[in-house]
A and B are shown apart, each in its own frame.
Chain A
Amino acid sequence: MTARTTTTTSPAPANAAGASYTRVEGRDKVTGAARYAGEIPYADLAHGWLVLSTIARGRILSVESDPVREMPGVLAVLHHGNAPRVDSDYVGMLGKPDPIVEVFQHDRIPFVGWPVALVVAETSEQAREAAEALVVRYEEETHDVAFSSAHPGTYTPDGDGMLIEKGDLEAELAASTHVVDHEYTTPEEHHGSMEPHAAMARWDSGRLEIVDSNQGSGWVADELAKLFSLDPDSVRVRSEHVGGAFGSKGVRVHQILAVMAATQLDRPVRVVITRRQLFSLTGYRSPTAQRVRLGADADGRLRAVDHQAHSLTSTVHEFVETSAGFGRPMYASDAHRSVNRVVRLDVPTPTFMRAPGEAPGSFALESALDELAEKCGMDPIALRARNEPDVGPVSGLPFASRNLLAAYREGARRFGWADRDPRPGVRREGRWLLGTGTASATFPVIVAPSTAAVTAEADGTFTVRVNAADVGTGARTALTLIAAEALEVPRERVHVRIGDSDFGPAAISGGSMGTRSWGWAVRVAVTELREQLALGGDIPPQGITVRSDTSAAVGALAQKERHSFGAQFAEVGVDVATGEVRVRRMLGIFAAGKIVNPLTARSQFVGGMTWGLSMALHEEAHRDQATGGHVGADFAGYHFAANADVPVIEADWVEDTDADDPVGIKGIGEIGIVGAAAAIANAVWHATGVRHRNLPIRPDRVLSAGGALDA
């Protein structure tokens, strides 16, 4: 069958990107029909259950697998003594891999929760019991998991952006009328995606197939091929629905172990990481200790900004939480130093977690600015306006677009900031002391080369194939709208397929770059497809497909300071008699480029702000110094905000265009969390007169600190 295309002659559709649309997979999600990685049935499926180390440092003496192999249903016990070898000496998308990919390759134990065995059985119940029964003997060495900025092992890593200096910092501080100098801390935080990491691996007609939950199927496929020394074309990774990721869903042990077991047993094997196991196996946000020194003239003009950020990493891999980077595009100052330092401890390797660097960094710097505003007797927004830079304060590069002050103006108007009495500790409603706070947000605009294929089908529809990941961002819907707009057809005629490494290289869902990167590739492909269709002619049964690759275009982007910006506002109530803090409302106004789908974009912003609330008040993993492992590694011990914690949160945006940018989309997945915790901490100060420089602002901390009206 062939059909004649009417694309170029159809009237402009009313549903161009910009109007709000519900998610294209929404019906599947509300009916339970959407299947996630661990939910696709396979005949003869076997189940793997992980066994993790209980010591923090040392080596394995023995894995006593013989009795376990005799248990009902047990098919295999994989460990360092019998597992297939992998080649981890490669450079992947993010550089050299975290050595956790060397799972079962040696007897060393670098932290509590290192994988020591995988028990594979016919049913998950059998695998679980056998895994729990497995005895592993260790030779234990003393460990060190005590993080602080004063740790003698602290060093400044090599690499770009670890240390940036400008001007004479000490001289400018000495010349300053007002100086703020404090340490701010944030605890170990976990991604806590609702869907645990899960993967099924099987060999199918000579190809390795993995059904996974990840942020980039091409990324995972590429690294699995490298690890197992396979032809890249022989590995296919699919990840259609992803139940949250937030930076944790890259190459992890579940995929590697599923491949090992499926290869060894020659049958499909699924490995699901349990909620408790996730706490040591899938990364986390390092705790931070950040010293911030600000020096300003009497009128609030910044002379000096010094941000010294400390974080931890494991003994086997260097990951740096780059909190000190937050301020580099933010405020003009005569002298600037920002440095990221790290210490190696006997803990799992941290990783990217929603707004890595910016989330904790903004808490420290934006709290310090609020303290400076207090010292200067200035309104916190006026202080920020006074230090608004013309060009990148450190780089000297022009801004692609910068609408921070526009966001503040709109936010202040809607929040009612003008009526605010700046004095702390003077408002009471029943048992609650009330206060309001504000803080800035920013996040870099990143893009990565991507490919996409767009097919004009014979039936008049269009199929877009792009190896995107929709981790809850709404990317699938956004790409549908982008394609429909570019094609000038109703969105119902566009079908977007994502999450399949066979679709070719593409950006990952991370760094808020996904929709910008994939959308760019889709637009390029559509443009070329429309040129072909404009020539006329019939569409053959297999359709007409055009592929795009944005590598060259991405490489040709002019060097600029490219960022999203935002203004965060919060109102809190604090009961100083019980230590309870309740956020009463939040407002975030963002300048974040072109917004593709307001409905899902708002969800992204509000979700990020909810994370900020949760970071401010709740989240904290507890590490036991004696054993080196977590205490309460579950959702009762690791609290994130429940529904009752979250008030009305509004998010909106101001016009933010960059005429030189070929896509205009900036990315919105992370900026919502940035500055939100600082706005809340600043509001707690405004309510009580007490500064909280350590997160989370727990009841015991509020109680111990008291308040201005504590009597």
Chain B
Amino acid sequence: MALSTSSAITLNINGEKHTLPVDHRTTLLDALRERLDLTGTKKGCDQGQCGACTVLVDGRRAVSCLQLAVASEGREITTIEGVAQGEQLHPVQQAFLDLDGYQCGYCTPGQVCSAIAVIEEHAAGWPSAATTDVRPEAGVPELSAEEIRERMSGNLCRCGAYVSIVQAVAQAAASNTEDTEAAA
């Protein structure tokens, strides 16, 4: 059976549809960077070992280096370029900027995308490896520094900006809570 090794696909990225032919070998990461000029998503290891390529797929964070582009069709993908509301930075972005939650900036888009998901996962009641008691009756843990550290551990930062990254995520999470409470 002669198999086709490429496909024409439509990717839904940041609310825009992009139709393009892809070699099946092309990862979502390479499709973003090499084909769609969305270079905000970074390639740090290309092996799922650093988190620099983190994007949101159907609202959940994922490493785009291990996600094939062809397998991404039909999914809603949000990259760092789709996080801000126009000129208005996302609270996570603003917190990283204000608190110097980065140095070289290369892991930053992945950190930001991951942090956005961390805040949502926590709000949805997800436990983590830092959660003392995962049983549902124990309730949702506070998003403490320890919880943030564990939840953000899939994003390596070689410059060593973790201390301010944790502060930035906490600040953004707090503003998120305030907004929710204000809306309620």
Quick check: do A and B touch in the complex, using CB within 8 A?
Answer: yes
User: Which residues of A are in contact with B by a Cβ distance under 8 Å?
Assistant: 22-23, 25-36, 38-39, 41, 123-125, 129, 191-196, 241-246, 272, 274-275, 471-474, 599-600, 602-604, 606-611, 614, 634-636, 640-644, 646, 648-649
Q: Which residues of B contact A39 (CB under 8 A)?
A: 33, 39
Q: Does B119 contact A (CB under 8 A)?
A: no
Q: Are B106 and A194 in contact (CB under 8 A)?
A: yes
Asked whether A610 lies within 8 Å of B109 as measured between CB atoms, the reply is no
24 contacts between A and B (CB under 8 A): A22-B100, A27-B97, A30-B112, A31-B89, A35-B39, A39-B33, A194-B106, A244-B104, A245-B104, A272-B43, A275-B44, A275-B47, A275-B49, A473-B103, A600-B103, A603-B100, A603-B164, A607-B161, A610-B160, A635-B45, A635-B49, A643-B157, A644-B149, A644-B153
Interface contact B50-A32, CB-CB below 8 Å: no
**B166 contacts the other chain (CB 8 A):** yes
Of B79-87, B134-142, B174-182, the stretch lying at the interface with chain A is B79-87
B30-61 contact mask (Cβ, 8 Å, vs A): 1 or 0? 10011001111111111101101000000000
Which A residues touch B47, using CB under 8 A? 275, 634-636
Given contacts A32-B80, A41-B37, contact A606 B102 (CB under 8 A): no
Q: Are A31's CB and B100's CB within 8 A?
A: no
A611 to B84, CA, bound (A): 32
CB distance from A241 to the nearest CB of B (A): 7
Contact between chains at B107 and A194 (CB < 8 Å): yes
Chain B hits for A648, CB < 8 A: 145, 163
**B157 pairs with A32, CB closer than 8 A:** no
Chain B interface (Cβ < 8 Å from any Cβ of A): 23, 25-26, 30, 33-34, 37-47, 49-50, 52, 79-81, 83-84, 89, 93-94, 96-98, 100, 102-109, 112, 130, 145, 148-150, 152-153, 155-166
In the complex, A607→B41 CA distance in Å?
23
Q: Given known contacts A31-B93, A275-B44, is B159 in contact with A244 (CB within 8 Å)?
A: yes
Extra inter-chain contacts (13) besides given A41-B37, A124-B30, CB under 8 Å: A32-B41, A191-B158, A194-B104, A194-B157, A194-B159, A195-B104, A243-B105, A244-B106, A472-B105, A603-B161, A607-B160, A635-B49, A643-B150
* Contact A640–B104 (Cβ < 8 Å): no
- How many angstroms between the C-alpha atoms of A84 and B157 in the bound complex? 38
Let me know if B162 and A646 touch, CB within 8 A: yes
Neighbouring A residues of B96 by C-beta, 8 Å: 30
Q: Are A606 and B160 in contact (CB under 8 A)?
A: yes
Q: Which residue in chain B gives the minimum CB-CB distance to A31?
A: B84
CA distance A473 to B49 in the complex (A): 24
Q: For chains A and B in complex, what number of residue pairs have CB atoms within 8 angstroms?
A: 173
* A194/B50 in contact, CB under 8 A: yes
A244 in contact with B158 (CB, 8 Å): yes
CA distance A28 to B33 in the complex (A): 16
Residue of A nearest to B93 (CB): A30
Query: Which of B49, B81, B98 has the most C-beta atoms of chain A within 10 angstroms of its own C-beta?
Result: B49
Question: Which residue from chain B places its CB closest to the CB of A192 in the assembled complex?
Answer: B158
The reply to whether A636 and B162 form a contact with Cβ atoms under 8 Å apart is: no
Chain B residues positioned under 8 Å from A194 (CB to CB): 42, 44, 50, 52, 104, 106-107, 156-159
Given the contacts A125-B30, A471-B104, A642 and B80 also touching, CB distance less than 8 Å: no
Q: Which residues of B contact A646 (CB under 8 A)?
A: 149, 160, 162-163
Determine the main DSSP class of B at the interface with A: loop
Question: How near does chain A come to B21, taking the closest CB pair, in angstroms?
Answer: 11
Does the CB pair B152–A643 fall under 8 Å? Answer: yes
A35 to B89, CA, bound (A): 18
| Complex: chain A residue closest to B50, CB-CB | A635
A-B pairs with lowest CB-CB distance, top 3: A32-B40, A243-B106, A610-B160
- Contact yes or no, A643 B50, CB < 8 A: no
Q: A192-B158, A635-B49, A643-B155 are in contact. Are A243 and B163 (CB under 8 A)?
A: no
- In the complex, the answer to whether B89 meets A30 with C-beta atoms within 8 Å is yes
Q: Are B107's CB and A642's CB within 8 A?
A: no
Asked whether B103 lies within 8 Å of A472 as measured between CB atoms, the reply is yes
| A634 with B45, Cβ < 8 A, contacts A194-B156, A643-B155, A646-B163 known | yes
Chain A residue at smallest Cβ distance from B95? A30
Given A634-B49, A642-B153: A474 in contact with B166 (beta carbons within 8 A) = no
Collect the chain B residues with CB atoms within 8 Å of residue A473's CB.
Answer: 103
Distance in angstroms between the alpha carbons of A367 and B156 in the assembled complex: 29
- CA A28 – CA B102 in complex, angstroms? 12
Smallest Cβ distance from B90 to chain A, in angstroms? 9
Which residues of chain A are near B98, meaning CB under 8 Å?
Answer: 22
User: Considering the chains assembled together, what is the distance between the CA atoms of A321 and B81 in angstroms?
Assistant: 42
Please indicate the chain A residues that have their CB under 8 angstroms from the CB of B130 in the complex. 644
Q: Which of B37, B46, B89, B105 contacts A275 (CB 8 A)?
A: B46
Nearest chain B CB to A284's CB is how many angstroms away? 14
Q: In whole angstroms, what is the CA distance A106 to B155 when docked?
A: 41
Q: Which residues of A contact B49 (CB under 8 A)?
A: 275, 634-636
Contact B104 A643 (CB under 8 A): no
**Docked complex Cα distance between A324 and B175 (Å):** 50
Are A242's CB and B104's CB within 8 A? yes
CB–CB A275/B162 < 8 A: no
Least Cβ distance of B27 to chain A in Å? 9
Residues of B near A606 (CB, < 8 A) are 160-161, 163-164
Q: Which residues of B contact A23 (CB under 8 A)?
A: 97, 100
Question: Which of A26, A245, A641 neighbours the largest number of chain B CB atoms within 10 Å of its CB?
Answer: A26
Write the nearest CB–CB distance from A474 to chain B, whole angstroms. Answer: 7
Contact (Cβ within 8 A) B108 A30: yes
Residues of chain A within 8 A (CB-CB) of B50 are: 194, 635
> Is A640's CB under 8 angstroms from B158's CB?
yes
* Closest Cβ neighbor of A243 among chain B residues: B106
